[in-house]
Chain A
Amino acid sequence: MSETPIIEAEGLTRSFGDVKALSGVDISAPAGSVLGLLGPNGAGKTTTVRILTTLLTPDGGSARVAGLDVVRDADELRTKIGLAGQYAAVDEYLTGRENLRMVGRLYHLPTSEARARADELLEQFSLTDAGDRVAGGYSGGMRRRLDLAAALVARPPVLFLDEPTTGLDPRSRLALWETIEERVADGTTVLLTTQYLDEADRLADRIAVIDHGRVIAEGTSDELKRRVGGERVEVTLTDPSQAAAAAEALAPISDGHASPDAASTDRDGVLRVPLRSDAGGVAAAVRRLDAASVGISDIAVHRPTLDDAFLTLTGRPAEEVIAENGELRQEADR
């Protein structure tokens, strides 16, 4: 692509005492796209966002956002970015409207424009009715919406969202996703961190998987899934002793590099066979098993999820990595 990326980081490193939070992060995102930074707690997502939003200086490496260096041009860069962090950073003793007006004034909008913008955003984020109540009384979802609205006051071309839906109930989460998608449709570039695979899958054009302070894989959601392998058919046999016959029946539609011997039945009696993409899918599998008189109690096609991708890329399931990094994260925070 000839287009210059609007977010670009090269070899970012940062340590907190003995803990190496980032050991060489490279990311890039073209204007108008959504880059998802996916990884467990403590992987370095938040540290990356803090460096890109000028809150933290890197020990090494460099980064430019909207053409501005995050260290040298920090003052000017702050006029071009919006940040919604993990904390829903709103003043609990101010009303929603007062919060937005204050942020508008601090972006140096004229008073009248700050007022108009606050009203407009309250409307857009369905907070008009709550606009004159103090934010301390808002629900978690309302606070996140207000926080996101505050990040958008100055219509920044680049928006950073650090785990925007962590701790939200499913309905608020879905609503926030829709709001983010509307911003993106308006041309805003978004860098989004998340530990939720479905969130990255839904919102991000490209995903950078980050673990132990470096990017371990990068690509579209589909590309990452493909690295895990294609579809596979999972057959539950009525008679487990027919496993060999079933494997033989499915061999012709199996993926080239998996011989029938490689088709495995787990202890649960489920036969898993990787499918060739042009083989006709589950219908072909059923016909072949029928023809071979193999009894089927259940059959399904499994498409790889980002969970599978994460497992393959890190060698561990997402949950396990999250649990393992929990302690490291707490240390890094000190």
Chain B
Amino acid sequence: MSLRWTIADTLVLAGRQLRRIPRQPDLLIGYTVQPIMFVLLFRYVFGGAISTPGYDNYAQFLMPGIIVQSIAFGGFVTALAVADDMSKGLIDRFRSLPMSRIAVLAGRSIADIALNALQLAVLIGVGLAVGFSFGTDVGRVVLGLVLLLALGYAFSWVFALIGLSAGSAETSNAIGFTVIFPLTFASGAFVPPATMPDGLREFAEANPFTTFVDAVRHLFIGGEAAPANSDVWMAFVWVVVITVIAAFLAVRKYRSVSAG
């Protein structure tokens, strides 16, 4: 398959996904209302009991964490949609067409960027409303936004792989909530890892989610509380590694997958 057709097919499939977005109001609500609920829950219900030394308030500490979690876990709808395409026979149809073997998933992941951008805008708006404020310059804020969108892109591929492997929305659901979701909590996203018991603390410190969150904290807030360390460039390395591995495995799975 030539590069030209690969790009053309990918754009056709991205167009398919973008057309679908406004026709699925329930999906849009899930994408926007759920993260808002999480912000309010952590900020006002748990926030008072969580001590975050060095930060002006809990909202400062929380927002980078909750944004990273929402952006990463937002790819979950990709798993559901891919599993749905498979059980409805659409993946079979695409595989019987003379089109690029990566276009279905690549098109999907590109369209996901639009959804993630929407979610990012909603979350930052809510964050500002509950007391979050940027403490760095425009350049670093923009770099932070780029990192978040790249992270969302990487997780689109992770969830596409989960959707293809699971083959049904129910199984995708189970994998998402028992593997990925807890991983985001066992990190520095919501509380400082220093407060965790031994074992869990080491795990949280090594968890790439902690790296992502610390990188975003540095780029959005900066100052002594959020030093750069190696987090920013390590975060980009993680994003590239996750994208490459997940995309490779997902495309390989797509080539051999079959409808129930």
The interface on chain A, measured as residues whose beta carbon lies within 8 A of the other chain's beta carbons, has a size of 31
Across the interface, B23 reaches (CB within 8 A) one of A81, A85, A134, namely A134
B252 within 8 A of A: no
Q: Could you tell me which residues of chain A, from 105 to 145, have a CB within 8 Å of some CB in chain B? A: 105-108, 134
Are A78 and B98 in touch, CB under 8 angstroms? yes
A107 lies within 8 A of B92 (CB):
no
Residue among A87, A107, A150 making CB contact with B98, cutoff 8 Å: A107
CB distance from A188 to the nearest CB of B (A): 16
| A89 and B16 contact, CB distance less than 8 A | no
CA distance A203 to B63 in the complex (A): 64
Interface status of A325 (Cβ within 8 A of chain B): no
A50 CA to B90 CA, complexed, in Å: 14
Main SS class of interface, A = loop
Q: Is the CB of B1 within 8 A of A75?
A: yes
Query: Are the CB atoms of A50 and B93 closer together than 8 Å?
Result: no
**Which residues of chain B from 15 to 62 have a CB within 8 Å of any chain A CB?**
15-16, 19-20, 23-24
B19 touches A89 (CB 8 A): no
Task: Say how far A83's CB is from chain B's closest CB, in angstroms.
Answer: 4
Q: Are A75 and B92 in contact (CB under 8 A)?
A: no
Q: Does B9 touch A at the CB level, under 8 Å?
A: yes
Which residues of chain B from 146 to 171 have any CB-CB distance to chain A below 8 Å in the complex? none
Q: CB-CB < 8 A to B24: which residues of A?
A: 93
Question: In the complex, A86 Cα to B93 Cα: how many Å?
Answer: 11
Interface stretch of the complex, out of A51-59, A171-179, A283-291: A51-59
Task: Classify chain B's interface size.
Answer: 20 to 34
Q: Which residues of B contact A93 (CB under 8 A)?
A: 19-20, 23-24
Chain A residues near B177: list those with CB within 8 A. Answer: none
1/0 per position for A94-113, CB-CB distance to B under 8 A? Answer: 10001000110111100000
Q: Are B90 and A89 in contact (CB under 8 A)?
A: yes
Q: Do B258 and A56 touch across chains, with their CB atoms under 8 A apart?
A: yes
- Cross-interface CB contact of A87 among B8, B19, B88, cutoff 8 Å: B88
Point out the residues of chain A lying under 8 angstroms from B1, CB to CB.
75
Closest approach, in angstroms, between the C-beta of A91 and any C-beta of chain B? 6
Shortest distance from the beta carbon of A197 to any chain B beta carbon, whole Å: 25
Contacts of B258 in A (CB 8 A): 50, 55-56
Q: Is the CB of B12 within 8 A of A53?
A: no
Q: Fill in one digit per residue for A48-89: 1 if any B CB lies within 8 Å of its CB, else 0.
A: 001001111000000000000000000110110101011111
A150 touches B16 (CB 8 A): no
Q: Is residue B124 within 8 Å, beta carbon to beta carbon, of the partner chain?
A: no
Q: A75-B1, A98-B19 are contacts. A333–B260 as well, Cβ < 8 Å?
A: yes
> Once the chains are docked, how many angstroms separate the CA of A50 from the CA of B258?
9
Q: Do the beta carbons of B97 and A103 come within 8 Å of each other?
A: yes
A309 to chain B, nearest CB (A): 31
A-B CB contact pairs (8 Å), 9 listed: A78-B96, A89-B89, A89-B90, A105-B9, A106-B12, A106-B97, A106-B103, A107-B99, A108-B98
Shortest 8 CB-CB distances between A and B: which pairs?
A87-B89, A89-B89, A78-B98, A89-B93, A93-B20, A83-B96, A79-B98, A106-B99
